[in-house]
Amino acid sequence: MKLKKHHKWIIGGSSVIIIFMITISIFTYMIFVRQELNYNLLGKKITDLKIETNTNINSLSEGLIQTNEDLGSLSSRLGIIHEEFGFLKASVGADFSGVVENSVPSVVTIRTDVSQGTGFIVEERGYIVTNAHVLTDGTLVNVITYEQEIIEADLVGYDTTFDIALLKIPGTHDTLKFGNSENVQVGEKVIAIGNPLGLQFSVSEGIISAIHRQGPNGLDVYIQTDAALNSGNSGGPLINNKGVVVGINNFKIGGSESLGFALESNFIKFAINEIYQKAFNESLI
């Protein structure tokens, strides 16, 4: 049976509509797929950008940390250079100002209810060495720091053979270091820091006149110096031009000038460790 013309038109029109709808669907799908691809690409770019940003931030943070460490190291090095410059000035001439500046904060006044002397800090936790005779007959021991802080001290112990006493105060403090007294040379310049006649933190200069002199204990363990020593200097440090302790000022021959004596540093350390060993069963320095 033959289709009439209007039937053919309807069928043809329907085909066109179907093809148009399919085309629209395909086009819409392609747009959606393309947008999806764009979204995925954009998301990846954003993720990559975040990773790159975080990496840059971490690198910057590490750089800042390294810079702070470098600045801290530089500051520390400048302090060392300043200290070494002071020692250099002392070693090439008569200027001990750098050594004094670095040493005095670790020196203290020892005051009891019956006498006064000097001491110096040998360990940062507040351990102080002085002469045992400075504490004789005293019932209360106060330490006066360079900053004029008055602190009550505890007696750890003492050694009568070497006339050494070890005290303890609370807090953290700057210390003086010991040199090897076997390396001391006659003629070497030294300074004595102490409180002669109550004049706090006085400094006198001299040379080492002799070594291994015999003392009141009958032992040849004393340095002879012409640095001025007076009542109140007992227990103070004798320091060389390198800024280290070579002796502890102990006594002078009465009525004489320029005849002072200091216990050699190696025996100070020995006595300190003996005292600390008895108290705590270990060495201190």
Domains in the chain with CATH codes: 99-280 (2.40.10.120)
Cα–Cα distance, 248 to 264 (Å, whole number): 7
Residue 115: per-residue pLDDT: 92
Residues with Cβ within 8 Å of 116's Cβ and at least 6 positions away in sequence, in order, are 109, 110, 134, 195, 198, 232
Nearest to 205 by CA among 193, 220, 217: 193
- The residue annotated as part of the active site, out of 106, 159, 163, 202, is 163
Q: Is 212 a catalytic residue?
A: no
- The residue annotated as part of the active site, out of 103, 133, 159, 173, is 133
Residue 33: per-residue pLDDT: 54
- The residue annotated as part of the active site, out of 106, 181, 204, 234, is 234
Q: Is 163 a catalytic residue?
A: yes
Burial 2-11 (b: 16+ CB within 10 A, else e): eeeeeeeeee
Does this model's pTM top 0.75? My answer is: no
Cα–Cα distance, 119 to 233 (Å, whole number): 9
Cα–Cα distance, 250 to 40 (Å, whole number): 86
Residues with Cβ within 8 Å of 160's Cβ and at least 6 positions away in sequence, in order, are 132
How many other CB atoms are found less than 10 A from the CB of residue 59? Answer: 10
Beta strands in the chain (DSSP E): 107-112, 116-123, 127-131, 141-144, 150-152, 154-159, 164-168, 189-194, 202-214, 220-225, 237-240, 245-252, 260-264
Residue 3: per-residue pLDDT: 46
Q: Is 45 exposed, middle or buried (0-12, 13-18, 19+ CB in 10 A)?
A: exposed
Rounded average pLDDT per 10-residue block, the chain, 285 residues:
50 63 67 60 71 76 72 68 56 74 96 95 98 94 96 97 98 97 95 93 95 96 95 95 96 83 98 97 95
Q: Is 95 a catalytic residue?
A: no
